[in-house]
Amino acid sequence: MNNLTVFVVSGGLGTSGDQLVRTALAQFANNGTNVAVIPQVRSIEQVEEVIAQVSATSGIIVHTLVDEFLRRKLADLAVEHRIVELDLIGPLLGRLSVCLGQEAVGKPGLYRKMREQDLKRIEAIEFAVNHDDGKRANELGEAEIVLTGVSRVGKTPLSMYLSTMGWKTGNVPLVKGIQPPSTLFEIDHRRVIGLMIEPGQLVAYRKRRSQHIGLLAQSAYTMPEELVEELEFAQQIFRRGRFATIDITDKPIEESAEEIVARVERELSRSRD
């Protein structure tokens, strides 16, 4: 058949069927075949329109319809109109149903939705890496969550954990006597969470950090009175920005992350002040 047109019919975007057809056609030199994708076919009326269109052009149909009813209707109409029809997904779904011991959902777009979730998670992780420890503070407005607090309060591990949940998270360190970037006060305050911790636990965290990087055992970084002042400074920043606060003392990272997400969602559900 010269100048053949293959109509790829799909309940979704038709990307998978289009790619498979083109992969197959590449095995035939100079075949001059056209590929036309007909996406979002989800009703009997649309199936009938497809049949009419293909019949008028003497083309063939290759489809990836996951809806069993629509697949059968398309096959029946194709036979009636003497149209070649190839089902790429039906036999596979049938075999998998037997192997897995369960029926296919038959809902189009599920794979794309799963891929979108994966891509969102990857994007969130890249964002957290690029906006860790105050980096690219001018881009904080793009974050879905911003964490802020003193050193060793858990900003980085929480940012990374939240990003694996799909949340674009940045974090900003607070240092006593140094004003944080102005962007922190310009973004939606409902997305900003201030992290707090009991001084005793913070001392322990900082001592371990000091040993790891070779700092002196006794320094302002680990002195309890200095840490109390740092935490008070952080509280001043939180009040100034009207930031919600979360105490992470003795909490596993999973619990703190869930609390942060719940707090941000609750804040966002309220009308802007």
- Pairwise CA distance, residues 225 & 184, whole Å: 27
pLDDT tens per residue across span 208-230: 888 777 666 567 888 889 999 99
Cα–Cα distance, 237 to 189 (Å, whole number) = 12
Mean predicted confidence (pLDDT) in 21-42: 92
170: three-class secondary structure by DSSP? strand
Q: Please, where in the chain does CATH 3.40.50.10660 lie?
A: 5-108
What's the confidence (pLDDT) of residue 135? Answer: 96
Contact call for residues 62 and 90 (beta carbons, < 8 A) = no
Q: Which residues pair with 9 in a beta bridge?
A: 38, 63
Q: What percent of the chain has pLDDT over 90?
A: 80
Task: Give the ranges where the chain is alpha helix by DSSP (H).
Answer: 15-25, 44-57, 68-80, 90-100, 110-130, 155-164, 183-186, 199-213, 224-241, 253-269
171, 131 contact by CB (below 8 A):
yes
Question: Is the pLDDT at 117 greater than 80, yes or no?
Answer: yes
* Whole-structure pTM value: 0.67
Q: Which CATH architecture has domain 117-269?
A: 3-Layer(aba) Sandwich (3.40)
Which residues lie closer than 8 Å to 58 by C-beta, 6 or more apart? 1, 5
CATH of domain 5-108: 3.40.50.10660
- 3-class state of residue 38 by DSSP: strand
Contacts of 191 (CB under 8 A, 6+ apart): 143, 144, 145, 146, 264, 267, 268
Residues whose CB falls within 8 Å of the CB of residue 91, separated by 6 or more in sequence, listed in order: none
Look over the chain and give the mean of its residue pLDDT values, rounded to a whole number: 92
pLDDT tens digits, residue range 34-55? 999 999 999 999 999 999 999 9
Yes or no: say if 73 and 11 are a contact pair by the CB < 8 Å rule: no
